[in-house]
Amino acid sequence: MVEIVQELAEGWDSEAVSIGFPGLVGSQGPSSEPVALGAGWVGFDFSSAFGLPVRIMNDAAMQALGSYEGGRMLFLGLGAGVGSALITEEVILTLELGQLPYRRGETLGEALGRQGLKRLGKTAWRRAVTDVASALIKAFLADSLVIGGGNAKKLDELPPGVRQSHNLTAFRGGFRLWDTGAVPRA
């Protein structure tokens, strides 16, 4: 991965690297190996490999950071599963809402992720996303809920307090990892 990134970024004037990681991230970087990306992430010295300072954050939290406009914001990333984060003022908390029970022994991740979209069909899946989004706003006392991820574009109508985010906001989140002055305050 490092070699490919370096090749793609050849000629760029870079001061640092931000990595959005699809899994748990601790103070020392990834704390578990991602199923879809292969092994070698835990314990890897990214700063030495890139020759630059590196900050790693959960990918849903990075997109949430890029989408943040103030207040208490809950983020749901709808893709293969469900990524989630809560931001309030200067605190970003990565959540695992996809692990919560949903219906008939199914988790939120199974219902709202790619598997649920295929099983339920687009109409029923949209209804499930809308119902869950409204309930989560109430449960987290959120000022807003942002839906991002690859399947966000499949939603047509959103309930009050919910807005859609584009995957490109993760780039803004990557910049904001280094420039805390760029994050709006509530």
What pLDDT does residue 186 have?
40
Rounded CA separation 161/158 (Å): 8
Strand partners, 86: 74, 93
Domain ranges of the chain: 1-186
| DSSP labels, 143-164 | SEEEEESTTGGG-----TTEEE
What lies within 8 Å, CB to CB, of 125 at 6+ separation is: 112, 116, 117, 154
The candidate with the shortest Cα–Cα distance to 151, out of 131, 122, 172, 120, is 122
What pLDDT does residue 181 have?
56
CA distances from 8 to 11, 56, 115 (A): 9, 19, 32
Task: Decide yes or no: CATH 3.30.420.40 for domain 1-186.
Answer: yes
Per-residue confidence in pLDDT tens, the chain, 186 aa: 889 999 999 999 989 999 999 888 988 899 988 877 888 999 999 999 999 999 999 999 999 999 999 999 999 999 989 999 999 987 999 999 999 999 989 999 999 999 999 999 999 999 999 999 999 999 999 999 999 999 999 999 898 999 999 888 999 999 998 885 555 544
What pLDDT does residue 89 have?
81
